[in-house]
Structure 1
Amino acid sequence: MKLITCENLTLGYEGKAILSGLNFTVNSGDYLCIVGENGSGKSTLMKTLLHLQSPMAGTITMGDGLKINEIGYLPQQTALQRDFPASVEEIVMSGFLGRMGLRPFYTKAEKKEARELMEKTRITDLADRCYRELSGGQQQRVLLTRALCATRKILLLDEPVSGLDPVATADMYQIISELNKEDHVTIIMISHDIGEVANYASHVLHIGHRLFFGTKEEYMNSKIGKHLVTAGEEAKA
C-alpha cells in the first residue's frame, strides 16, 4: 500500500531551487534510505515530507489514510536539546501530545503503550533518569521512543546515529531494523553510512547531481551505487 508518492518535486529555500525532477514512492513496510552528497537537499526533502515547508513545484500525495500527525520524526539534535532537564519518561510521553487535542492528561492506554515501547527500545531502566545525564546513544533511543508514541506507521529519521560510538550505532541500527521487520513500521532514513544502507535498506533514494530511486539491490549494482561503495571503502582504508 502506497503511503507517500512524490511526483516531479522541486525543492529549495529562499526562492532558490536545489533539487528538481524528484520522483519516488514509499510503500507500507519499506525501509528507504536517502543518501547523497552534503548540501544535496536531504534534510530539505525531509522537512518537505513533514509539511514544514512546501515544495517549489510538484506534488506529495499521502495514501492509506496517512495523516501528517501520524508521521514520527527524529531530527538531528542540537546542543541545547541534549541538555533538556526532564525525565526520560516525561520526554517519551510527550510523543502523545499531537494526538491528545485539548485533553490535559495521558490515558492508562497511553501509559501502557509508552512502557511497551520503552521496553522495545531498551530504555525501561532509564525511565526515571534525567535526560541530560544520559549518553548520546541513550538519548537517541529516548527520542526514537518518543517518535514511536506519535505513530506506529512511519518514522522519518535524520541521521539517527550521527556522533554515536560504534556500539551505540550498532544498537540503534538493530532497534530500527526490528521496528521495521517485526512491527512493520515504515522507515525513511537519511544516512551517510553506505555499509549500513547495504545491510538494512529495502530501497534507496540518491539525490544530488544524479538521481536514483529503486531497490537496494538495483542501487548497489548501479554505477552511482558502486561509485559510492568504492569511495566509502577507500575512506575507511
Structure 2
Amino acid sequence: MEERIRARGLTPGYEGRAVSGPVDFVLRRGDWLAVLGENGAGKTTLLRTVLGLLPPVAGCLETPGLVPGQLGWLPQQTAVQRDMPASVWEVALSGRQGRRGWRPFYGREDRAAAARALEQVGMAGFARRRFRELSGGQRQRVLLARALCAGDQLLLLDEPVTGLDSQAAAGMYRLLAELNRQGTAIFMISHDLAGARQYASHVLYLGAQTSFFGTRAEYENWKGENAWA
C-alpha cells in the first residue's frame, strides 16, 4: 500500500524546543489516523510539522510523492473564515492556489477540480451563494472542498466537527468516510473520542509521559492497560 506519511523518531517543537517526545508512525493510502491526546501534548504542533510550517526538532518525516503546498488541509473554523464575503465557488477554487504557480489566472483544470470537489461534498448547488450565508455544517463542507482542490491523496484535518451540531457532525463523518473508502488518507486531530473510535483505522496517542501508535483495536487494548490515557 502506498505510503503518504512516515515518521521516524519525529519530535515536533518550536525554535528547537520539543513539545512532545519522539513518535513513530506511518499513514498509507486508505488509512484514517486519529491523533488523540491531552491538551498541550503537541498535536497541533505535529500537524504544523507535517504541513511543513515547522521544522522538526529531531527525527525524520517523509511524505512520499506529496508537495507541501498541495496538501489538503482543513483547519479549525475561525470568525474570519465564517465572515468571508467570497462565493462558495471562489472559496473552493482558492484551494488550487498551491498548484497555480506563476499563472495569473486559474485554468480549465483548476475549475474542473473545484466543480468536482463541490460535487463530492454535496455543495455544487450552492456555488453562487455567499460563503457567510451558509450554516456551520455547509461552511465546513465548502472548506473540505477547498482542501480537496489542494490535494485529495491526503487530508489533514484539525478538529473537523468542532462547533457543528450532532446532525452536521454525523454528515461530515459520513462524507469523510466515503472519501476514505475511495483511497484518500486522513490525518485527523480530534477530541471527539466517539467519532475517532467509530471511523479511524489507526490511532496516534500523544501523552505527557508516553505515546502510542497502532490500529484502533490495538489502541483499545493499550488504553485498557493504561487507564490514565
After TM superposition, is the score higher than 0.5? yes
Partner of 1:208: 207
Q: Which runs of 5+ in 2 are unaligned?
A: none
Is 1:156 matched up with 2:156? yes
User: What CA deviation, in whole Å up to 9, does each residue of 1:85-126 have, x standing for no partner?
Assistant: 100000101111111112122222332232222111011121
Q: Which runs of 5+ in 1 are unaligned?
A: 232-237
Partner of 1:51: 52
Amino acid paired to 1:208: G
Where in structure 2 are the equivalents of 1:39-78 lying within 5 Å? Answer: 39-63=40-64, 65-78=65-78
Q: Tell me, yes or no, if the aligned pair for 1:219 and 1:225 is still in contact at 8 Å.
A: no
Distance 1:62 1:206 in 2: 20
Farther-moved stretch of structure 1 (111-120 vs 95-104): 111-120
Cα deviation for residue 224 of structure 1 reads: 5.5
Partner of 1:94: 94
Cα deviation for residue 225 of structure 1 reads: 8.1
TM-score (norm 1): 0.90
Is 1:13 matched up with 2:9? no
| Backbone CA RMSD of aligned residues | 1.7
Partner of 1:143: 143
Amino acid paired to 2:204: L
Q: Tell me, yes or no, if the aligned pair for 1:34 and 1:206 is still in contact at 8 Å.
A: yes
- Tell me the matched-pair count: 227
Partner of 1:235: none
> Which runs of structure 1 show a deviation greater than 4 angstroms over 4 or more consecutive aligned residues?
none
Q: Tell me, yes or no, if the aligned pair for 1:87 and 1:127 is still in contact at 8 Å.
A: yes
Where in structure 2 are the equivalents of 1:121-140 lying within 5 Å? Answer: 121-140=121-140
Partner of 1:106: 106
Amino acid paired to 1:184: G
Distance 2:109 2:61 in 1: 33
Partner of 1:118: 118
Amino acid paired to 2:12: L
Distance 1:221 1:143 in 2: 35
Residues 1:170 and 1:226: Cα distance change in structure 2 (over 3 Å): farther
Residues 1:113 and 1:12: Cα distance change in structure 2 (over 3 Å): closer
Farther-moved stretch of structure 1 (154-163 vs 130-139): 130-139
Cα deviation for residue 33 of structure 1 reads: 0.5
Distance 2:37 2:206 in 1: 5
SS in 2 for 1:32: strand
Residues 1:222 and 1:136: Cα distance change in structure 2 (over 3 Å): same
Taking every aligned residue pair, what percent have the same amino acid on both sides?
A: 49
Distance 1:43 1:159 in 2: 10
Q: Tell me, yes or no, if the aligned pair for 1:70 and 1:154 is still in contact at 8 Å.
A: no
Distance 1:200 1:225 in 2: 22
Residues 1:178 and 1:226: Cα distance change in structure 2 (over 3 Å): farther
Q: Tell me, yes or no, if the aligned pair for 1:177 and 1:200 is still in contact at 8 Å.
A: yes
